[in-house]
Amino acid sequence: MRCIWLVMMVMTSYTFAQTQTKQPSKPLVLSGTVNLVAAANGGTIVKFTSQLDEEHWSVRNLIDGTVWDGRQPQTGTNGWASKEAKFPQEIIFAFRNREVKLINKVVLDPTIPDPTFIGRAARDFEVWVTTDPDPDKATWKLVLIGTLLNEKRRQEFFFIPAEARFVKLRILSNHGSDRYVALGEFEVYEATQGIAVLDQLIARLEQLLVDLKRYRDLLAEQGLRAVTEGSEKEQTAESEGQGEKKE
């Protein structure tokens, strides 16, 4: 029974590992539900490379909690657009009171008024973080490289939890337009509960390895004992046979 239990545990662990490899967008580390960079939650934009204009395509639209919905009367904003289609375009965000948070998820929404076939929505991007107090003199760490689909919907991206005081979004390309690059909304979420879950998993796997080693040693010991006993029986039988021949 113990052998069956150990095999089942190994198969479960292997299946779990495969699932995580195939579905990296669903990590063990859970995320909170509060958008840390939303203006309504105290989020701010510290710096940005450019914006098309202040009235309709302001960078502040990225954290206002709305996107273009095409309805009348229109309640959502256009989103942000760069002045030109030059890359990279960088935008630096901060949380309330510039606090340090452990984050593991961002959401980018490329919903803008322009039709998708024009190709102005953001495509390839990077996310960088730092805990330094001055973003101009900070040492930045790359935590995510991603690609947005040319679809008007929220798109989630997860990464290994990282501490951040500032989050830098680097937009590297759009979907082909030579006019500008645009994005509807940008969101950042805090990592929750994940460390405890990972610690429990590691402890279980370590115990499983210990049990497997013990079982291996037990099998080896039983095999050696069986070989030794078999050899002794053969020697005894040979001795008895030789004794009978002599008689």
Q: How confident is the model at residue 214 (pLDDT cuts 50, 70, 90)?
A: confident
| pTM exceeds cut of 0.85 | no
Separation of alpha carbons 78 and 68, rounded Å: 5
Q: Which residue has the higher pLDDT, 140 or 231?
A: 140
pLDDT digits (tens, 9 = 90+) for 48-85: 999 999 999 999 999 999 999 888 887 899 999 999 99
146 strand-pairing partners: 125
Q: How confident is the model at residue 226 (pLDDT cuts 50, 70, 90)?
A: low
Task: Specify the range with the lowest mean pLDDT, choosing from 27-31, 80-84, 243-247.
Answer: 243-247
pLDDT at 241 over 70: no
Q: What is the mean pLDDT of residues 5-15?
A: 47
Q: What is the mean pLDDT of residues 179-207?
A: 83
Q: Tokens 């939890």 label which residue?
A: 161
pLDDT at 2 over 60: no
Q: Tokens 């008895």 label which residue?
A: 240
Angle between helices 2-22 and 194-246 (to 10 degrees): 140
In the chain, % of residues over pLDDT 90: 62
On whether the CB atoms of residues 204 and 28 are closer than 8 A, the answer is no
* H or E stretch covering 47: strand 44-48
Radius of gyration of the chain (CA): 30
